[in-house]
Amino acid sequence: MAADASSQDMRMHRIDTGRITLNVREAGEGQPMLFFHGITANSATLWPVASQFTDRFNVIAVDQRGHGRSDKPATGYEADDFAEDIASLIRKLDRGPAILVGHSLGSRNSVTAAARYLDLVRSVVAIDFTPYIETEVFDALSSRVNAGDQVFEDIEAVEAYLAGRYPNIPAPAIRIRAESGYQSVEGGLRPLASPEAMAQTAEGLRADLTQVYRDVRKPVLLVRGEVSKLVSADALAKTSRLRPDLPVVVVPGADHYVNEVSPDITVKAITNFIDA
């Protein structure tokens, strides 16, 4: 996947929204297009996709609260907390309504923001998170999230762990996660994501999303990985019955980590949706 020349101008900085200070990766000019990662990840994991839009938009990939190099408050990890962060960022930017692209946790947060703050959001691409996710799926997610809080000897150990945890994510994307998501501590490398925040965030993902999806009136594209273990085919089907007006793209061969496993198809799906 070739990066646009403009993606080389990316700068990483922190934005004080007046509510929370968020670390971001930013490039391009024009209407804001904001990208929000999944749980335990950070803005770097979405940058290979986000960078493809820097010739058209002011692209900003965000470390969400508790993650990466953004603020990590002791509490406040429910959907409404994240959605209010998104709203405060859009208001701070003061460049008009934003296109939101979210993966997993970021998908949940983006749809919630679109439902709550009608004047701030133009549209949403919601990647691999819907209502009706089964309880046992959330149980398995919580176990994986909590197991990640450990100290690794070196970057090679981090990459080996991540490759085992995410067997379908290509090696270059694993490297991005390893290089962007860990910090030096005594004894090695530890995740930048706060373990307390991750535990609260994982628990918050269990909240019922059906009313949010009923309420949202902005255009929303639903994207699912064909072999996703988070969003089952049944969960997607129930969501489509709830909102039959929302377009759906199922990415062949992709698991939950659609944007890392199939970045080119993800870019094409986003482009077709926003152009329509």
- Please give the Cα distance from 254 to 261 (Å, whole number): 6
The catalytic residue positions are 104, 128, 256
At 30, is the secondary structure helix, strand, or coil?
Answer: coil
Taking CA atoms, 74 is separated from 145, 190, 195, 239, 269, in Å, by: 17, 19, 11, 33, 37
Closest Cα to residue 60, out of 25, 30, 95, 105?
Answer: 25
User: Residue 158 in 3-state DSSP?
Assistant: helix
Q: How far is C-alpha 267 from the geometric centre of its chain's CA atoms?
A: 15
Burial class of residue 114, CB neighbours in 10 A (0-12, 13-18, 19+): buried
| Three-state secondary-structure class, residue 11 | strand
Kindly write down the DSSP assignment for every residue of 120-137, as one continuous string. TEEEEEEES--TT--HHH
Query: Residue holding tokens 């998170």?
Result: 129
